[in-house]
Amino acid sequence: MRKMLFLVVTGLAAFAAKAQNNGTPGAIRISGTRLTYPLVEKWIKEFGKTHPGITIALASGLPQDSADIAIVSHILTKGDVKEGKTSIVLNRYVQLPVVNSRRKDVLQLQEKGFTDAAFRQVYFADTAKGSELGAATDVPVSTYHFAVYKRAKPACASIAFANHFGSEQKDIKGTGITGDDKDLLAAVKRDENGITYNNLGFIYNLSTRRVNDSVAVIPLDLNENGRVDPAEKIYNTLDEVIAFTEQTNSPKILTENVHVIFNADTQNKAVASFLQWILTTGQQYNHTYGFLNLDTNTKNEQEHLLALASKHF
């Protein structure tokens, strides 16, 4: 009897050790870009259904170096990926200009759209390279009154926004808003003259797929002919914007990668399992939350990089 009990206990211990080595149990702490959190929460929920032994927690106040997975949603520099760390890309996101929907000239703005020059004049203090709302119009941006709102402190979305226009986050003019991108959008909703930039997941209602109440998207004049042509009117629904952006990859549309940074030779099999799941199964939730999928080549490349880092697959 004692011998049998010993064998059972030993067997259970061996099974538990094997499970640990295979990465089944584990704990992951995630921190970083908060605009990704609604999607990350969905990933965590769905991943947990098939990996109940892995505990994943979002910790927004956790320093990047202390997180098992750090999310960074702007172009990475050498200082972002420290020694012993590596990164991969999970998906992409889009930012668009939005105004208060009650402003009197909103329809006119939506007919003319924003050129690159208009963006620079409205959003950037000393980096404007043009003065007209559209190449074929004689109505300068300065005749439109905008109350520009920006993030009070450097944030991934702000850095990505500035980088797109060849500028730095500090060059963005306007009133600084404390909080996150939701607070930035709320400031525009309170101010009839308000304008800001924001990501699709907050601009659009994820259930109805239409623009949220109290805000309006200013279209992009992609061919810069001074008006928004029928082919450029892609903002009625969230899915129209996503489809157009993925199909055209227009350089005029502000898109940026969502990176994750983790240990280069991670022995945390839970991290490797979760990231691999995101690159495969988890991609199906990107559009639902307003994010873009990776193209096939990029996705395959990221899976290869993950395999090299984790030494698990």
Domains delineated in the chain: 94-255 (3.40.190.10)
Residue 120 has pLDDT above 80, yes or no: yes
**Per-residue confidence (pLDDT) for residue 22, from 0 to 100:** 39
Rounded CA separation 48/56 (Å): 8
Record the pTM.
Answer: 0.86
Tokens standing for residue 74:
């702007």
Give the pLDDT score at 134: 41
**Of 135 and 156, which is predicted with more confidence?**
156
Closest Cα partner for 128 from 138, 140, 111, 113?
Answer: 140
Mean pLDDT of the chain, nearest integer: 86
Residue 129, pLDDT above cutoff 90: no
What is the pLDDT averaged over residues 176-203?
96
List the structure tokens of 292.
């873009």
pLDDT given for residue 125 in this prediction? 64
**Would you put residue 310 in left (φ > 0), alpha (ψ -120 to 50) or beta?**
alpha
Whether the predicted pLDDT of 280 surpasses 90: yes
Model confidence band, residue 309 (pLDDT cutoffs 50, 70, 90)? confident
Per-residue pLDDT band for 143 (boundaries 50, 70, 90) equals low
Token pair, residue 124, equals: 């950037």
Average pLDDT over residues 269-290: 96
| Residue 67 phi, psi dihedral angles, 5° rounding | -85, 145
